[in-house]
């Protein structure tokens, strides 16, 4: 079985956050499991380009990847050479797995595959939620959906990373099939040491994500003045400078700037940062999965997430944290409420979560679910 993965961006373009790591981890696991995998991607790295060999296949952690130059420097990621190569080679593959939507790489690749009769697996990765239609470029998205999406999506096998994402998609169109399989999330090599809360010290809160509107950092910042306990907040992530400036102005208006530490983008030291905090907070307006939730729990750090995060049901079911609405008032209420008895909850979650996560997100088990999806799509 030979699968072509198409993603407008690929590692090391970590500026795009969790999806980059999940797609890379999936492809690497498939190769290790004996599946033939190739990746077509672009040199996209935000508003700049990756400095690497382009337009020829290279090995990236065991995966054959071709980075094609793009002619647009925005989220359209138009790459004529990628599309030309796809048209020439697509019949070599049993199926095409496309990651994300709305960019021209994904939409035109799906069109090519459908025309050539090659099965398509699409992982929307949050790009086809109701929120996505009212967020950025909503008019362009509606036009693309009317012109192409309504025709192409019913011919795809949809991969959702959580049941909430699957439910949202079913309200859009009816695909060939819809399949819920969690993201691949790289976990620490070893179980972490057990930690305890020093109740005389401030509670160390952490926001760890791309800094953009849908991630809800503004919700957290607006909630902080209403907390009735001592705390500090670390913000790990990057985003558009103008948006960050607007958030920093919001902090200054509330008079809590001295309690907040902005540390920027973190990659290699991720698990140490997560381990160094008491609670990871992610109050997203929309989140199809939430890799950082699993990463945080894998080192024993509890989470407080909004009910718009795809993993909210999982966190509630396993009792590994707290759930709030994506509103600053409810977040403040939940933070104050969870602080009562927090040390006991922290000790329980810190002790049990790492083992639970390793069992539920075991790479060997997950890769077999993806292979089963490919077999279903290709009738192999």
Is the per-residue pLDDT at 217 higher than 80?
A: yes
DSSP symbols for 205-273: EEEES-BSGGG-HHHHHHHGGG--S-EEEEEE--B-HHHHHHHHHHHHHHT-GGGEEEEE--STTHHHH
Phi, psi for residue 104 in degrees, rounded to 5? -70, -25
Radius of gyration from C-alpha coordinates of the chain: 21
Report the pLDDT value the prediction gives residue 19, as an integer from 0 to 100.
87
Decide: 86 and 112 in contact? Cβ < 8 Å.
Answer: yes
Confidence of residue 33 (pLDDT cuts 50, 70, 90): very high
Q: Does residue 20 form part of some domain? A: yes
Task: Judge if 214 and 308 occupy the same domain.
Answer: yes
Could you report the per-residue pLDDT of 297-313, keeping only the tens digit for each? 999 999 999 999 999 99
Is the per-residue pLDDT at 138 higher than 70?
A: no
Is the per-residue pLDDT at 70 higher than 70?
A: yes
Is the per-residue pLDDT at 109 higher than 80?
A: yes
**What residue has token string 């079911």?**
317
Those residues with Cβ within 8 angstroms of residue 335's Cβ, 6 or more apart along the chain or in another chain: 223, 227, 281, 304
Report the pLDDT value the prediction gives residue 142, as an integer from 0 to 100.
67
Task: Judge if 302 and 212 occupy the same domain.
Answer: yes
Answer with the residue of higher pLDDT: 131 or 61: 61
Task: Judge if 280 and 131 occupy the same domain.
Answer: no
Is the per-residue pLDDT at 61 higher than 80?
A: yes
The CATH number assigned to the domain holding 165 equals 3.40.50.2000
Is the per-residue pLDDT at 250 higher than 90?
A: no
Task: Judge if 231 and 174 occupy the same domain.
Answer: no
Q: Does residue 50 form part of some domain? A: yes
Residue 348 CA: distances (Å) to CA of 241, 270, 280, 301, 317: 39, 22, 16, 10, 15
Supply the range of the domain harboring residue 179: 2-184+362-378
**What residue has token string 């994300």?**
100
Is the per-residue pLDDT at 362 higher than 80?
A: yes
> Chain-wide mean pLDDT for the chain?
92
């Amino acid at each position: 079985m030979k699968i072509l993965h198409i993603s407008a961006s690929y590692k090391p373009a970590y500026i795009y956050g969790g999806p980059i790591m999940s797609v890379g981890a999936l492809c690497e696991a498939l190769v290790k499991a004996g599946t033939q995998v190739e990746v077509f991607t672009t040199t996209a790295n935000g508003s700049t380009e990756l400095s690497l060999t382009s337009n020829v296949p290279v090995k990236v952690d065991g995966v054959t990847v071709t980075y094609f130059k793009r002619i647009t420097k925005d989220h359209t990621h138009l790459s004529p050479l990628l599309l030309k190569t796809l048209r020439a080679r697509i019949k070599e593959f049993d199926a095409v797995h496309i990651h994300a939507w709305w960019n021209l790489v994904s939409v035109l690749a799906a069109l090519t595959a459908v025309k050539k009769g090659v099965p398509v697996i699409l992982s929307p990765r949050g790009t086809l939620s109701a929120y996505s239609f009212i967020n950025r470029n909503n008019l362009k998205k509606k036009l693309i959906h009317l012109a192409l999406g309504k025709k192409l999506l019913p011919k795809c096998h949809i991969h959702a990373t959580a049941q909430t994402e699957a439910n949202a998609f079913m309200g859009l169109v009816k695909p060939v099939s819809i399949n819920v399989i969690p993201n691949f999330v790289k976990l620490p090599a070893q179980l972490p040491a057990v930690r305890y809360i020093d109740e005389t010290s401030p509670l160390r809160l952490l926001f760890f994500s791309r800094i953009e509107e849908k991630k809800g950092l503004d919700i957290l910042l607006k909630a902080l003045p209403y907390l009735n306990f001592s705390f500090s907040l670390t913000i790990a992530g990057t985003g558009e400078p103008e948006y960050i400036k607007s958030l920093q102005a919001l902090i200054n208006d509330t008079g809590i700037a001295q309690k907040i530490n902005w540390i920027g983008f973190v990659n290699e030291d991720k698990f140490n940062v997560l381990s160094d905090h008491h609670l990871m907070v992610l109050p997203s307006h929309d989140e199809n999965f939430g890799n950082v939730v699993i990463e945080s729990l894998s080192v024993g750090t509890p989470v407080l997430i909004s009910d718009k995060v795809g993993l909210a049901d999982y966190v509630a079911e396993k009792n590994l944290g707290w759930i709030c609405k994506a509103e600053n008032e409810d977040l403040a209420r939940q933070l104050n409420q969870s602080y009562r008895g927090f040390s006991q909850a922290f000790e329980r979650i810190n002790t049990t979560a790492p083992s639970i996560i390793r069992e539920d997100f075991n790479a060997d088990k997950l890769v077999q679910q993806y292979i089963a999806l490919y077999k279903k799509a290709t009738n192999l």
